[in-house]
Every structure is written in structure tokens, then in C-alpha cells.
Structure 1
């Protein structure tokens, strides 16, 4: 939960969420109303497209959902510890440089790597390699799925970074509690996450309209900066 994060962790979460909003703003305009990080919206689009007989649109929406899920699965495999039954039957390996920051960094760098590949495909498409464009959106969606594994606890995502409906609900609930006299300001943390994704989406949309798909390169740069800050701080 956002209320359990330190200030540095909250800053990292907001920075990643802003980057997710940035690519979602780009993707929404480029794909004509589909999302690369907001899968609830794609699920609604898929249902609406299917009901209206638009099988191509349905396939596009479902494909993005599948790519997002693939990214989550891939990140979970990279960041999670082996199941106890498996760990008990394997020989422990030495990892003297192991750090509790490892899972965070792995999830972020995995997302960066996928985004770099997506950006490279976008650049190739702009240079005339049209088939490369078809890989851009699924790769971005996979990277957004992967980055959601940055904050996990007990194998479960503790803070969602690319979907803000739950954050808005928590912000509203805690704000209502504050109005009733509860001495807490936790609602501001959830509100900050929403502001981050909204601001990032606006920046992505404006950048896309100004310069086109090439601005996608800014997204892996943002996340790489986040990873660098995590490594520098060592303790978040």
C-alpha cells in the first residue's frame, strides 16, 4: 500500500507512474483509443468492439491485454524467489552481492530493456520498415506489465503503478476519514500517484503530437534514471 512506502519509495513510485502515463498518452493517440498500460480500458474496448462486430479492434485490445499479462509473468519469474518446495530440493548458491533492492532493479531494468526494443522498432518503422510498427504496442504493453512488479510483498503487488482506479478509491476513503476527524494524511499519497499518471499522460500526448512516435525513446530513459536513483540510494 502507498501508505506503507517511505518518502523515497513514494517518489520512485510516482516517477515510474509518470513514465507509465507518458507511454500511455503516446499509445492512446497512436493506436486511436487503445491503451498500453491501462488494461481495464482495453477490456472495455474489447467487449465493445466484439459487440459491434469489429473483430480487428477486438483482436487489438485483447492482444494488448495478453502482452501486458506476459510482461507481468516475465517480471514475476525474474523477481520472485523459488517456491519453498523447490528451494528445499535445490542446492543454495552463493550470492555475496545479493541486495534487497535486487527485485526492484530487476523489474525496472526488464521494463527498460523491453521499452528500448519497442523504441527501436518505432524508429525502424519511421525509417520505412513498416512491419516493425506492429511490434511496438505489444512490446510497450509488456514493459508496463513488467514494471508493476517493482513493489511487491510476499509475491503480491503492493502498489499498482499503471492503474489508478484503486488509488482514487483509497484517496477518497482516506480523505473521507480525514473529514471525520481522523489524524492522517495518507490520502495525499494516493492522490500523488494519480497526479503522476495524469501529468505523465498529458506530457506524452503533447510530445507525440509535437514530434511523433520518436518521443517514445524518452520512456526508457525515464525508467533508467529511476533505476539509477534506486542503485545510488541503495536503501528505499
Structure 2
């Protein structure tokens, strides 16, 4: 018997398309996670602040509040608020562009390239531009064939993988939990690449992130628009 998630695709042709939509979606997730990992590592090494890992910034914010460090508290509050604004802006751009990834990724590329080209000593504006870009990136893919995915954070993915592993050990054979390692692996590989780039280029390594975002946007043109409708936020 087919899994319940595939029953609407009992027709062999529709089932084939469903599988390919899932594979392409996961490749896109992996690629965008590499972009997120690169950008986060570059931003963290260049400034000491996380660009996409807001769980880390939230913990640091709590510690700063407990220490009475008003300067760091204000800075981290601004970073978290900027990330939230980036997520909202990503959904707005997604809707305006009729839920196609290209306009969104080109906006992200522009922000990252602008951050890389920031000419002044104060890196905070460049950091904020990168954070907005990472917030927006989450609107590029929200789910693949009904499976939720995260691009700029992996705690949820590891949690879903771990819970799926627990169910598998108990004998339950549900589908989809293994794919949660894809965004984690993509972000890990991207972070390694980003760290190596930052060691050589400093914050200007964000230029590579920007070019990758633009490249992925162009590649997304090969993905049928109806598939984007299933990937991006409704």
C-alpha cells in the first residue's frame, strides 16, 4: 500500500512527478543551507555575532541582561529584531513575486554583496544587512512534499531526526525523518567553507555568499513554478 501522503498520487505519472518534486526540493534545501552556513560562519568570525543562528544570539542576550551589559543587550536585541523583520520581508517579497524564488534570492544576493562592499570600520550595518538576508532566506523553501524544513537553523531538523530515529527504533516505519539531516549537513558544510573564506577575505567573503545566492536564483528558473508554490510560504 502507498503511504497516506502519496495516496493522492496513485497515478504512476503523478507519483513520478511527486518524487521528482521532492528530490529537487531537497537539493534546493541543501544548496540554500550551504548558503546559510557560509554566511553565518563568515558573520560570526568577522563580528563575533551570529547572522542566522538566533538561538545562540537569544542565549547571549539573556546572559547580557543578567550581567547588566546594556550595550551588548541593545546590540543583540537589534540583531534578533532584524532577523524577525527579514523573515517578514521574505514572505512579503515571496507573495509580491507570486512565490518564485528568483526575485527573493536576487534581493538576498544584493544585500550580501552590499554587506561585503561596506567600506567603513563599523561593521554593524553590514552585519544587519546579512541578518536581513538570512531572515528572508527562510521564505525560499518552507516545506518539501509536506515535510517542514528549516534553512538557517538546524535545531528543529536535528530534533525531528532524533524523534524519527526513536520511532524507528520502536518499530514505526514513518517516512521523511531521515531527510532532516539534509539541511543540517548543508549548513555544516557551508559553515566550513565560510570559515575558510573568512580567514582569507574577512567580511568581504560575504561577496561569495551573495554570488552563490544569485547563482541559486538563476538555477531556480529551471524549477517549474507550480513546484515553487509547494515549497514557499502560502
Equivalences for 1:1-236 in 2 at 5 Å?
6-32=22-48, 34-80=49-95, 102-121=99-118, 124=119, 129-131=120-122, 133-152=123-142, 158-184=148-174, 186-234=176-224, 236=227
Give unpaired runs (5+ residues) of structure 1. Answer: 82-97
Aligned residues of 1:17 and 1:162 also touching (Cα < 8 A): yes
CA distance in 2, matches of 1:116, 1:203: 17
What TM-score, normalized to structure 1? Answer: 0.78
CA distance in 2, matches of 1:227, 1:138: 22
Aligned residues of 2:83 and 2:132 also touching (Cα < 8 A): yes
- The residue that corresponds to 1:90 in the other structure is none
- Report the count of equivalent residues: 204
CA distance in 2, matches of 1:187, 1:21: 21
Structure 1 residue 202: deviation in Å? 1.6
Aligned residues of 1:175 and 1:187 also touching (Cα < 8 A): yes
Secondary structure, in 3 states, of the residue corresponding to 2:117? helix
Structure 1 residue 180: deviation in Å? 2.8
Aligned residues of 1:178 and 1:185 also touching (Cα < 8 A): no
Which consecutive segments of 4 or more residues in structure 1 shift more than 4 A? none
Structure 1 residue 63: deviation in Å? 1.3
What TM-score, normalized to structure 2? Answer: 0.79
- The residue that corresponds to 1:91 in the other structure is none
CA distance in 2, matches of 1:36, 1:176: 32
Higher helix share: 2
CA distance in 2, matches of 1:210, 1:78: 33
Give unpaired runs (5+ residues) of structure 2. Answer: 1-18, 228-234
Aligned residues of 1:178 and 1:184 also touching (Cα < 8 A): yes
Q: CA RMSD in A?
A: 2.3
